[in-house]
Amino acid sequence: MNISLLRWSAIAFVIGLFTVLSPGCAVYGDGYGYDGGVGIGLDYYEPYGAYGGWGPGYGGWGPGYHVGPFRDGAHRPDRGGGHPPPHAHRSAPASHPVPSIPSRSRSGGSRRH
């Protein structure tokens, strides 16, 4: 009886120890990052409140705030006279028209709605 009890106590102790300690092996970040102990390890990447949970809400897009692509036949819009200001990026040559998104349908050819 005592031996059996001792045996099962030992088993329970080891399993309990493993259960308690194993989460400690995971690497937790500060809001970004991954869990080291999980197969794919994805995590939440946006700081809480990034969507306007506090302060002014998301948005604030004025009338000229455009985010979409150009459509068919998009030409290079005129930014106003003179040379463009210096940039950190390399600007595409002025002769290049602004491309649009792919228009080919999956079945081939251009898509008409």
* Residue 27 binds another protein (CB under 8 A): no
Encoded one letter per residue, x for contact with another protein by CB under 8 A and - for no contact, window 37-66 reads xxxxxxxxxxxxxxxxxxxxxxxxxx-xxx
User: d(Cα 36, Cα 28) in Å, to the nearest integer?
Assistant: 7
> Which of 24, 80, 81, 82 touches another protein by CB under 8 A?
80
> Which amino acid is residue 39, in one-letter code?
G
CB of 91 to another protein, least distance (A): 5
CB of 20 to another protein, least distance (A): 13
> Which of 1, 24, 75, 79 touches another protein by CB under 8 A?
79
Give the number of other Cβ atoms within 10 Å of residue 107's Cβ: 6
User: d(Cα 31, Cα 7) in Å, to the nearest integer?
Assistant: 42
User: d(Cα 70, Cα 53) in Å, to the nearest integer?
Assistant: 32
